[in-house]
Amino acid sequence: MQNDLHVGRWEERWHPLRQEWVILAAHRQNRPWSGETVNSGQISLPKHDPDCYLCPGNQRVSGSRNPNYSGAYVFENDHPCVGPLAPKNLPPPTGIYQNRQADGIAKVISYGPRHDLTLAEMAPAEVENLVGTWQGEYAQLAQRPEINHVLMFENKGEAVGVSMPHPHGQIYATNFVFKTIETEAKASDQHFAEHGRRLFQDILTAELADQKRIVAENETAVAFIPYFGRYAYEVFVAPKRTVPNVAGLTAAEVVDFSAILQQVLIRFDNLWEMPFPYVMALHNAPTDGSDYSNFHFHIEFHPPLRKPNLLKYLAGPEIGGGNFLSDTVPWEKAAELRKLPSTHYRA
């Protein structure tokens, strides 16, 4: 049984000091995307790569073949970190230790059929199509009883360890709520209880009043580097109206939100005229059945670079202590991005 081999290698373990779950997914060591080397994106990529797992018509490691899709294409991850196949009856750990099944669903979203076309360079309608795909996936996964949170994210660039150049994001739909989201949800409820106002609305009010840290804005959406930013180019993209999750955006809001999202991505690439690496995470309310009406959906970018070849290393304060030491001033970095051209340098 393949499952037996996974016992002790694929499970969730409770970290009693941090009070959070750790996903142990050591069964994935040989996943095919990890060791692959590719060019950094400086060299032009083909529109279709016969060796790519995401290109239309190609065969994946699972043996399944991708259809000749257009638009975004979603499939279950062939090497999931959480999934229904994770071992159920785990041997009990020693003493106070706790573990449980790493139940959930891991998916991959190819942003489109083109191997070489990033979100920054796609047609606006294709970005809207992706936001629509996020909405559909969130709504569908939220209904599943075993799913308490839907984490959607994109790791982009070799600086964040991504060897697969085909533009894509991922979904980890898990049986627990990721720590950052749990903290944001608690802070939002606490703020509402104390002030009778929504926390994120108060953040937007301060940012829009200051204006200095705004990167882009339209009628219903805004992008900014918050006053409390931790990374040099830590941009938040948010709708102006409070909706707890991406599925709550109206069709008109999707258009505005997509436009601002793309403006951020274009400016990122224009900054050093190179494909800009980042971790992008959608902060959606949990799906565990509680009331999250105070939670305000937004996207956070965590770009690892401060300069073209200068990584923001997470070191003593960040990893050792858990608090950030920021080396840059948010309004200066926001002004840098705001002043850049609104069309992509390769267009």
Is 79 among the catalytic positions?
no
Spatial separation of the C-alpha atoms in residues 11 and 23, rounded to whole Å: 6
* Residues 257, 249 contacting (CB under 8 angstroms): yes
Give whichever of 110 and 148 is closer to Zn ion, judged by the CB atom.
110
Spatial separation of the C-alpha atoms in residues 146 and 143, rounded to whole Å: 9
**Closest approach of Zn ion to the CB of residue 282, in Å:** 9
**Closest approach of Zn ion to the CB of residue 115, in Å:** 3
Strands (E), the chain: 10-15, 20-25, 73-76, 99-100, 104-110, 149-156, 168-174, 214-217, 221-224, 236-239, 278-283, 298-302, 305-307, 310-311
Give whichever of 267 and 283 is closer to Zn ion, judged by the CB atom.
283
Spatial separation of the C-alpha atoms in residues 316 and 324, rounded to whole Å: 9
**Closest approach of Zn ion to the CB of residue 228, in Å:** 11
Spatial separation of the C-alpha atoms in residues 110 and 213, rounded to whole Å: 32
> By the criterion CB under 5 A, which residues form the site for Zn ion?
49, 52, 54-55, 115, 166, 283, 300
Give whichever of 54 and 120 is closer to Zn ion, judged by the CB atom.
54
Q: Which residue is nearest to Zn ion (CB)?
A: 52
Cβ burial of 201 (10 Å; 0-12, 13-18, 19+) is: middle
Q: Residue 8 — left, alpha, or beta (φ > 0 → left; ψ -120 to 50 → alpha)?
A: left
Instruction: Round to the nearest angstrom and report the end-to-end CA distance of the chain.
Output: 52
- Annotated catalytic residue, options 27, 79, 149, 168: 168
Catalytic positions: 168
